[in-house]
Amino acid sequence: MTRHALLIGLLVLMSQAALSAARAAPLAPDDDQAAAGQDIVIRDASIQILRPKRRIAAGYFTIENRGKSVHLLAGVSSTACHNLFAHHTEQESTSDTATLFAHLALPAETTLVFPPGGYHLICTGYDDSLHPGQQITITFHFMGGATRNVPFTVQPPANTEETTP
C-alpha cells in the first residue's frame, strides 16, 4: 500500500470513527453545531475538468475543523453542477460513497485532505460557467444551519485526452 493510500485510509477511518462517536453520544447543543461557520476553514479548493465532452469535473480541497466540537457536514451544492457527489478514485462508486459529504463527521481540531487519487467531489453536467481560470462557488452545508461558500478555481484537463475520475 502506498503512503498516499495509507494516509487517505487513515483519514476515512478517523472520519468514520468520529461519525460513530457522534451517533453514539448525544449531539452537541445547537450552539456548538452553529459554530461550524466560525470553526471550519476550507482551503486549497480547485476543480479540474476531467471529461469535457461529458461535462465531468473533480473538486479537491482541504477542510479543517479548528473548533473543540465535532461538526457534521450535511451536504454540498453548487449551481454550476447538475449533480455534485463524493467519489474515490480507487473505489467503485455506490450510493454510500456518493453520499459521503451528506454525513461526514469532522472531528475537533482535525484537518482532512481530499486530493486527486483519493476521496474528492465529482461535478457532473456542469454549466457554461466552468472554464479554466474562472471560479465556481461550492456551498458546504453543516448540521445546525451554518454554510460556507467556497470559491473553487477551475483547472483545465491534465492533457487533451479525457481522463478518468
- 137-154 confidence digits (pLDDT tens): 999 999 988 999 999 999
Calculate ∠ Cα 63-164-78, nearest 5°: 45
Looking at the domain that runs over 32-155, which CATH code has it been given? 2.60.40.1890
What's the confidence (pLDDT) of residue 3? 40
Q: How far apart are CA 44 and CA 61, in angstroms?
A: 5
Please name every residue paired with 45 in a beta bridge, in sequence order, or none if there are none: none
- 90-107 burial code (b ≥16 CB/10 A, e <16): eeeeeeeeeebbebbbbb
Average pLDDT over residues 160-164: 51
pLDDT tier at 132, thresholds 50, 70, 90: very high
Q: How far apart are CA 62 and CA 150, in angstroms?
A: 11
Q: How far apart are CA 97 and CA 120, in angstroms?
A: 10
Average pLDDT over residues 47-74: 94
- Predicted TM-score (pTM) of the model is 0.75
Average pLDDT over residues 82-110: 78
* Res 134 pLDDT > 90: yes
